[in-house]
Amino acid sequence: MQENPAELRLAARDSGAMLADFALVTAGPAQKHALESVAQGVPTLAYGPPRSGKSSLCGHAAWESMRGGVDPRTVVLLAPTRERAAFLREELSRRAMAERAAGAQIHLELPTVMTPLAYAFALVSEEAARNSRAQPSLVTGADQDVLLEELLAQVPAQWPESIDPASIPLAGFRAELRDLMNRCTERGLGPLQLAELGEQCGRKEWTAAAPVFEAYLDSLALEGSMAIEAGARLDLGVLVDRACAVIENAEALGFLAIDDAQDFTASGVRIVTALAARSGRFLVTSNPDATVEGFRGGMADAASRVASALASDSRSCAVVTLEQIYAQEPALSRVVAALASHLPLEGAPTALRKLTREEGVADSFALATASSDEAEARDIATAIRLLAAVHGVSRDDIAVVCRSASAARALAERLSRVGIEAEATLRATALREEPVIRDLFTILAWALGIEQLRDERLVEILRGPWGGIDDGMVRELRRWALSHSAHTRGDAAILSILNDAEVALPAPAGGAAEPESGRERYLRAVTAPLRRLRRMHDAIVSARDSGILPLLWAAWEASHLAARWQNEAIAVTGSVQARSRAQLANARLDALGALFTAADRYEERRGGDDIAVFMSHIEAQAVPEDSLSARGRVSGIVRVLTPAAVAGESFDTVILAGLNEGAWPNLRLRSGVLGAADLALFIDRPGPMPNRAELRAMRRNANLHDEIRLAIAALSRARSRVLVTAVENDESAPSGMFRVLESAVQCEAVPCGWVASALHSANPGPFPESRQLVSALARALASESADPPHLAGLLAALEREGIESAGPGNWYHQPLTRTDPPFPSGSTLALSPSSLATAAQCPRAFLLESAGARTSSGTAQEVGTLIHALAEAHPRAGAAELVAEFAKRAPEGEEVEQNWRTRAERARIVQMLEKLGAYQSAHPDVAAVEKRFSVPLGEAVDIRGSIDRVEREAGGLRVVDYKTGKSAQSKAQAERDPQLAAYQYALAHMEKDEPVVGASLVYVGTDAKSSALRHQAPLGEGDDPDWFENLVREIDARLRSARVNLVRNPHCKVCPVKRSCPLFQEEM
């Protein structure tokens, strides 16, 4: 049986109950009033503060309606998000199970519980089935992005001068265009109306967007009509239009409940309004103060809009205010109310502002400022440890809330550095950006012969999810591959062995008579990724004609990774490394689950396409695929969330972090290029179109209100206590919202409330991070008043608990683990000319680079490789021929032409080739190119490498070394250049019949009009004829010493290992 990878770690998920302490509340007079109104068929609007039982009221009203005889098939509950709909569904399911367990003889079906758009799609799908039409499909955000990219390149649009033409092909511009179109379709506006609005309001960007909007709708209609077996393609606007048409002709609902109406978008309000007009019983709950979807189109006044629509249909609504707050410290409720007093009512009754709050424990709310971001993280970590030690609060019952996803990621990283395992709820990324998907596509393309697998790409895969080996194992694999292949490069040898099924890979010992040695086990682990890739290759080839989804399943099952990733994903205990692996496994399984869902949806719509077309489709998507799968998470880890992610959940403690000026509230105006927010603001309010300045002020005011609502939504999720933090230093200050909260709780006398004693204690404090505690004990041990036996006992106890740093053997200033030199006497030291130059500058840098500490190749290195390759292939070619050869190799296409960086780099390459061609034309007598050598220098050193070019001139041979850098050495430096001298030395030992008359550096990458030349006299001449051999002997002696020193030199700032160098850190 095939299981979706995203579901392989269900045990890792929580139960799904977002408000485990939130029982169905019906005892209050306001709740009873609301239930009576609903039972009498009066449309009812129930407003209430956070935790006043609104969701429970919806569930209970639905339950009582069904028990009163309403057909469950005509009972519908709608919530703004899938998570909140799932909570309502589970509440009803628990209620049914509880009553059955109590002996009640009930056999009720559960009602429909969905989001508005999911319900609309269900209605349209059912209508298609009734009429024997193919099932429709939704246009996802990723589909929209791909289609708009094509249309923007094809449809002529007169964009205003304020829009930079270079921004139009960018993903950000497409996102703004999608936002504009979605705002239109939500409100029933088409391309013609958008163009008219643009003309009326003087918004040229709206007029220019209209043709693209029209082409977009036409493309969807055409695609749906051309699909033989697939149904209509529905975007948001078409879906809502069709759903409203179905509702008008459908039977009336017995009961309709709308929960958290404040987060419904305009399209949701349209659907609800259509349903409410045909519903016998109708209930809406709302709290405009807790809107979290405002930046995504959520309408805080949605409930009043629905009421107005009903009033126009001669149906007045009963308005009820829920007063009682459940499962929250009264002090926290008072703070939430104080913050809400800064907001407009958005149609809610004034009674919502006049509710009295009970007196409570003032110490349950705390504020704290820190001197830096790192200090803020330390304070939060201290508070989390205090909660566990003093109050017994599990880390699963703590939420840290940041204003944005980027701030959440940054804080999660800082918390991890101070000993608190934390994970940020990350915004979904496009599938093409997920390493597990990117590597899988490369494997598929290789197995199916779509493209050749390059050796450097193979090494990336080996290090990635499907390989799973580290750099040390890659180096061992290279050594093993070189010993089993004719190739001279390790990466090429690995690729050759992978592609050659005749080469046997080390296999498990099985029933061998002798047990495996440690070396054999290690080799088997090192080569395991190659065995996996071969299995996947064979499975893919066997399933190539079976369709997209079966092909993906074949690759996944052949990897044999399901069990391992499942076990890693559900690891709820263990080391920090184990928990990190769990997070990584969850992310990989989530990405694969989304891929399989996308493939299933794609095959339903375009079943005739092959896997190559599907991969191209996914790789073209810059927007994440919509997914119905819940994201996996690991218990015991503190969650760092955004306000939208925390909505509807419940925690013992909530920590609001980062309430700094400019961060929270963030009053930056969004969606500014195409004015989508302006359009929505104009359409949603009565009256004439405001001018731009008025619109800007209105949007800024709306932004402020949304920012306050986000804070209220986050604060209200706490049951027992809240901590609010900010950074205060010369560059950052607490925001006005922080000061409002500070004033609301009047906590100047006790600045940190319930965490005061922990945050204000001397280092390390009562709840330190393990490293803080070990450092404090080590300092105490070194003091004159120390009690060594007692302190040593404490350190030993910490070490027994798994804190390795507590063991003195792990402290700094320990004796060296080994003192033998890196190159023992009697061994041969192999040096290339370039490594010889590095060792001459700094022996320590040479050792680190030799161990693999090199920077990855960039554009400059790739250009250098290209120039050298052309010079090798065409050693006598002039400028025109070299440029022509480059044109054959260079990538072409519109994308390259539009990329100014690519154009600039190509122009620079052409200039270098022209200089190179001019030099070669002036020096046509070439004796050799890329002449390889390996010559001894004395008894202990071998110099190995290749010479770019050897020229014959009067009197002998000249070494030529091409350089593509932008700066040239001085003439004096060139005279003592170790790399040039190594080439001369090697050539002299290989060509004993012809003298070497010197060497030249030819710089083709400088700004000079022609090549810059630097020369070196023949070795053996000058005042110090033995300087080179003496230098090599000195380098040999340094590298064979037990202590290899650092040497400061002019190249320190560009050294690839400078981050490991104390000298460089001193300069920083």
Would you state the pLDDT for residue 230?
60
Both tokens of 253, joined, read: 């609902």
Q: Give the separation between CA 877 and CA 874, rounded to whole angstroms.
A: 5
User: What kind of architecture, by CATH, is found in domain 829-1060?
Assistant: Alpha-Beta Complex (3.90)
Q: Would you say 626 and 593 are in contact if contact means Cβ atoms under 8 Å apart?
A: no
Tell whether the model's pLDDT for residue 518 goes beyond 90.
Answer: no
> Residue 609: pLDDT band by 50, 70, 90 thresholds?
confident
Q: Would you say 734 and 659 are in contact if contact means Cβ atoms under 8 Å apart?
A: yes
Q: Give the separation between CA 211 and CA 155, rounded to whole angstroms.
A: 7
Would you state the pLDDT for residue 137?
80
CATH classification number, 22-132+238-326, choose in 3.30.70.3270, 3.40.50.300, 3.40.50.170, 3.30.450.20: 3.40.50.300
pLDDT tens, position by position, 808-831: 777 766 677 777 787 877 788 888
- CA nearest to 245, candidates 343, 128, 137, 356: 128
Would you state the pLDDT for residue 626?
54
pLDDT tens, position by position, 336-364: 888 888 889 888 888 888 766 666 556 78
> Residue 838: pLDDT band by 50, 70, 90 thresholds?
confident
From its phi and psi, is residue 1022 left (phi > 0), alpha (psi between -120 and 50) or beta? left
- CA nearest to 466, candidates 382, 532, 374: 532
pLDDT tens, position by position, 913-929: 999 999 999 999 999 99
Angle between helices 435-447 and 455-463 (to 10 degrees): 140
Mean pLDDT of 286-295: 88
Would you state the pLDDT for residue 9?
36
Tell whether the model's pLDDT for residue 229 goes beyond 70.
Answer: no
**How far is residue 246 from each of residues 79, 125, 520, 885, measured CA to CA in Å?**
20, 10, 68, 64
Kindly report the backbone phi and psi dihedral angles of residue 930, in degrees, each rounded to the nearest multiple of 5, phi listed first.
45, 55
Would you state the pLDDT for residue 676?
86
Would you state the pLDDT for residue 647?
85
- CA nearest to 528, candidates 553, 507, 554, 556: 507
Per DSSP, the residues of 609-676 read --HHHHHHHHHT--SPPP--SPPP--TTSEEEE-HHHHTT--EEEEEE---BTTTSS-----S-SS-H
Q: Give the separation between CA 23 and CA 56, rounded to whole angstroms.
A: 7
Domains 22-132+238-326 and 362-428+633-759 agree in fold:
yes
> Residue 872: pLDDT band by 50, 70, 90 thresholds?
very high
Domain segments of the chain as ranges: 22-132+238-326, 137-230, 362-428+633-759, 431-619, 770-810, 829-1060
**How far is residue 447 from each of residues 441, 553, 564, 625, 998, measured CA to CA in Å?**
10, 14, 24, 25, 51
> Residue 573: pLDDT band by 50, 70, 90 thresholds?
low
> Residue 769: pLDDT band by 50, 70, 90 thresholds?
confident
Enter the DSSP assignment of 322. Answer: -
Would you state the pLDDT for residue 637?
82
Would you state the pLDDT for residue 402?
94
Both tokens of 114, joined, read: 């969905």
Would you state the pLDDT for residue 1038?
85
Q: Please, what sign has the CA dihedral across residues 1052, 1058, 1060, 1066? A: positive
Q: Three-state SS across 224-256?
A: HHHCCCCCCEECHHHHHHHHHHHHHHCCCEEEE
pLDDT tens, position by position, 437-492: 999 999 999 999 888 888 888 999 998 899 988 888 888 888 888 888 777 677 88
Q: Which residue has the higher pLDDT, 634 or 161?
A: 161
Enter the DSSP assignment of 690. Answer: P
Q: Give the separation between CA 37 and CA 257, rounded to whole angstroms.
A: 13
- CA nearest to 460, candidates 483, 439, 437, 476: 439
pLDDT tens, position by position, 951-963: 999 889 999 999 9
- β-pairing, 279-286 vs 253-258, is parallel
- CA nearest to 1064, candidates 1041, 1048, 1044, 1045: 1048
- CA nearest to 682, candidates 669, 671, 691, 673: 691
Tell whether the model's pLDDT for residue 397 goes beyond 80.
Answer: yes
Cα–chain center distance at 122: 32
Q: Give the separation between CA 530 and CA 506, rounded to whole angstroms.
A: 10
Q: Would you say 409 and 377 are in contact if contact means Cβ atoms under 8 Å apart?
A: no
Kindly report the backbone phi and psi dihedral angles of residue 258, in degrees, each rounded to the nearest multiple of 5, phi listed first.
-120, 115
Mean pLDDT of 680-704: 79
Beta strands in 287-333 (DSSP E): 318-321
Mean pLDDT of 422-444: 81
Residues 6+ apart with CB under 8 A from 929: 871, 872, 875, 948, 949, 950
3-state SS assignment for residue 725 = strand
Q: Which residue has the higher pLDDT, 167 or 1000?
A: 1000
User: What kind of architecture, by CATH, is found in domain 431-619?
Assistant: Orthogonal Bundle (1.10)
> H or E stretch including 1014?
strand 1012-1016
Both tokens of 649, joined, read: 């959940």
Q: Mean pLDDT across the chain, nearest whole number?
A: 82
Per DSSP, the residues of 381-433 read HHHHHHHHHHS---GGGEEEE-SSHHHHHHHHHHHHHTT--EEE-PPP--GGG
Mean pLDDT of 65-85: 89
> Residue 1005: pLDDT band by 50, 70, 90 thresholds?
very high
> Residue 120: pLDDT band by 50, 70, 90 thresholds?
very high
Q: Residue 1049, Cβ neighbours under 10 Å: how many?
A: 13
- CATH number, domain 362-428+633-759: 3.40.50.300
Both tokens of 182, joined, read: 């979605």
Q: Which residue has the higher pLDDT, 934 or 683?
A: 934
pLDDT tens, position by position, 634-668: 677 889 999 988 888 899 999 999 999 988 998 88
Would you state the pLDDT for residue 931?
92
Mean pLDDT of 321-336: 86
Q: Which of 205-209, 783-787, 898-902 has the lowest mean pLDDT?
A: 898-902
